Amino acid sequence: MEKFFMIIILCVYGECNGMWQNTTYATMNECLAAAPPVKEYFMSTYPESTGQIYCLIEEEFNKWKKKLESGNTLDLPNKSPI
């Protein structure tokens, strides 16, 4: 069974960081449905920020996370943000 992960790219004053939820989703639609409240939270908490949210399958997420944790530059997934 495939898992879906939500990742958040948050940029404040030109410095961007990647983060993810520990929650996984059973379907892409569940992940997409969970994104709007996350977006609203970050917009209200960090009004001066910009960012993007993505839902990734487990394989994509693991590659992205490994690259991020090894100190490489923050790459955006090769897909459209939510």
- Predicted pLDDT at 71: 78
Domain encompassing residue 52: 4-69
pLDDT-based confidence at 67, cuts 50/70/90?
Answer: confident
> Does some domain include residue 32?
yes
Per-residue pLDDT tens digits for 16-33 = 889 998 899 999 999 999
Q: Report the distance separating Cα 64 and Cα 75, nearest Å.
A: 8
Give how many domains the chain has, as a whole number: 1
- Predicted pLDDT at 77: 67
> Does some domain include residue 46?
yes
Ramachandran region, residue 11 (left: φ > 0; alpha: ψ -120 to 50; beta: rest)? beta
> Does some domain include residue 39?
yes
Query: Which residues, in sequence order, are CB contacts of 67 under 8 Å at separation 6+?
Result: 75
Strands ordered across the beta sheet of 15-25? 15-25, 4-12, 49-57
> Does some domain include residue 53?
yes
Per-residue pLDDT tens digits for 32-59 = 999 999 999 999 999 999 999 999 999 9
What pTM was estimated for this model as a whole? 0.83
> Does some domain include residue 10?
yes
- SS3 state of residue 23: strand
User: What is the token pair recorded at 49?
Assistant: 């920020």
> Does some domain include residue 81?
no
